[in-house]
Amino acid sequence: MRKVLIVEDDEAMAVALQDGFRYEEFEVAHARDGAAGLAMATSGSPDLIILDVMLPKMTGLDVCKRIRKDGNQVPIIMLTARGQEIDKVLGLKLGADDYVTKPFSFMELMARVEAVLRRVKGVRPELEAFSFGDVDVDFRKGEARKGGKLLDISPRELRLLQYLVENRGDVITRDQLLNAVWDYESAPFTRTVDMHIAKLRKKIEDSPADPRFIVTVHRVGYKFTG
* Domain spans of the chain, in order of start: 3-121, 129-224
Q: What is the identity of the amino acid at 220?
A: V
When computed from its CA atoms, the radius of gyration of the chain, rounded to whole angstroms, is: 19
Higher pLDDT, 184 or 110: 110
For 158-196, what is each residue's pLDDT tens digit? 989 999 998 888 888 888 888 778 755 455 566 888 999
Strand 214-217's sheet: what is its strand order?
171-173, 221-224, 214-217
Using alpha carbons, list the distances in angstroms from residue 144 to 135, 165, 197, 214, 226.
Answer: 7, 13, 16, 16, 15
Helix (H) or strand (E) run with residue 149 in it:
strand 149-150
Helix (H, G, I), strand (E, B) or coil at 99: strand
Residue-level pLDDT at 185: 45
Using alpha carbons, list the distances in angstroms from residue 171 to 138, 193, 218, 220, 222.
Answer: 23, 14, 10, 8, 6
Residue-level pLDDT at 184: 53
Can you give the pTM of this predicted structure?
0.58
Burial class (CB in 10 A: 0-12, 13-18, 19+), 150: exposed
Give percent above pLDDT 90 in the chain. Answer: 54
Q: Using DSSP bridges, classify how beta strands 76-81 and 98-102 pair: parallel, antiparallel or unpaired.
A: parallel
Query: Lowest-confidence range among 68-77, 127-136, 184-193?
Result: 184-193
Average pLDDT for the chain:
88
CA dist 197 and 213 (Å) reads: 11
Output phi, psi for 65, to 5 deg. -60, -45
CA dist 59 and 64 (Å) reads: 9
Q: Class for domain 129-224, per CATH?
A: mainly alpha
Domain 3-121 has CATH 3.40.50.10490: no
Residue-level pLDDT at 39: 95
| Alpha helices (H) in the chain, listed in sequence order | 11-23, 34-44, 60-69, 85-93, 106-121, 155-166, 174-181, 191-204
- pLDDT, average across residues 44-48: 89
